[in-house]
């Protein structure tokens, strides 16, 4: 059966006890796929499309991916960092060009690329209303690229926003690394982190991606366990 290769950032990466309780979406995605499907998670904290390519991380995937495999491409959070030239990309220019490199390389190996928009940050205001996030231009660029190149796209940004609104300000603190003082030894003074995920959030958003694959149907739906109800 196929292998899913995942290229992405800290919202996707596999975490060790050193970053507990942080959990990446790719770390729990195996819960939704057939047991014969293997996942290779190459996502890494702090990476953008640019730094992932520049550091040779995608070359490792290219050396391993084979015909019939899948490449999940999920970036945006770090491409937005204008203050860091090692990571920043312009949405409609370098970001799009980098995405094209991922897609073209997968297709050259006769693998199937899937573009996944970045998960939304937990950006509630003081009145408990979800604000507009910072991903908009990158989401738009990825959607345009998917349409231009006829690449399947899962709009995790939109789905995660829906989940955030539905669950609300307080409940979603359980999904993100929003840690009260004394809750974890590694963060004894507490931590307000509305980007990185805990297990509950990772599973919630992995379920969104699984729903997206089911909606795509065919070979994408075939990756999933039977009986999943969305």
What are the pLDDT digits (tens) for 22-48? 999 999 999 999 999 999 999 999 999
Q: Active-site residue numbers?
A: 10, 189, 196
Question: Could you give the strand order of the β-sheet that contains 70-74, starting from the edge strand earlier in sequence?
Answer: 38-41, 3-8, 70-74, 112-116, 153-154
Backbone angles phi, psi at 9, to 5 degrees: -115, -160
Of 30-34, 137-141, 225-229, the one with minimum mean pLDDT is 225-229
> How many CB atoms lie under 10 A from the CB of residue 56?
9
pLDDT at 230: 67
How do 176-179 and 191-197 pair as beta strands? antiparallel
pLDDT at 127: 84
- What mean pLDDT comes out for the span 126-147? 90
- Per-residue pLDDT for 131 more than 80? yes
Domain ranges, ordered by start, for the chain: 3-221
With a pLDDT cut of 90, the percent of the chain lying above it is 82
pLDDT at 107: 98
List the Cα angle 137/40/205 in 5-degree steps: 45
What are the pLDDT digits (tens) for 3-23? 999 999 999 999 999 888 999
- CATH class of domain segment(s) 3-221: alpha beta
Higher pLDDT among residues 164 and 184, named by residue: 164
pLDDT at 136: 86
pLDDT at 133: 80
- Per-residue pLDDT for 205 more than 90? yes
Q: How far apart are CA 38 and CA 2, in angstroms?
A: 7
pLDDT at 150: 97
Q: 3-class DSSP state for residue 56?
A: coil
């Amino acid at each position: 059966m196929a292998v899913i290769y995942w290229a992405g950032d800290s919202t996707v990466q596999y975490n060790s006890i050193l970053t507990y309780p942080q959990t990446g979406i790719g770390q729990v995605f195996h819960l939704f796929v057939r047991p014969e499907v293997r996942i290779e998670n190459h996502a890494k904290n702090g990476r953008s499309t640019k730094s992932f390519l520049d550091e040779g991380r995608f070359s490792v995937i290219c050396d391993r991916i084979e015909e019939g495999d899948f490449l999940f491409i999920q970036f945006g959070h770090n491409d937005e960092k204008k203050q860091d030239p090692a990571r920043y990309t312009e949405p409609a220019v370098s970001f799009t060009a980098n995405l094209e490199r991922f897609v073209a390389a997968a297709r050259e190996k006769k693998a199937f690329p899937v573009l996944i928009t970045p998960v939304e940050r937990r950006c509630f205001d003081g009145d408990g209303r979800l604000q507009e996030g910072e991903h908009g231009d990158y989401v738009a660029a990825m959607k345009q690229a998917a349409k231009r190149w006829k690449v399947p796209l899962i709009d995790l940004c939109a789905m995660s926003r829906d989940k955030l609104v539905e669950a609300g300000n307080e409940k979603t603190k359980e999904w993100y690394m929003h840690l009260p003082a004394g809750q974890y030894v590694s963060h004894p003074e507490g931590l307000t982190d509305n980007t990185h995920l805990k297990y509950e959030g990772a599973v919630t958003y992995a379920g969104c991606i699984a729903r997206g694959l089911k909606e795509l149907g065919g070979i994408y739906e075939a990756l999933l366990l039977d009986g999943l109800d969305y």
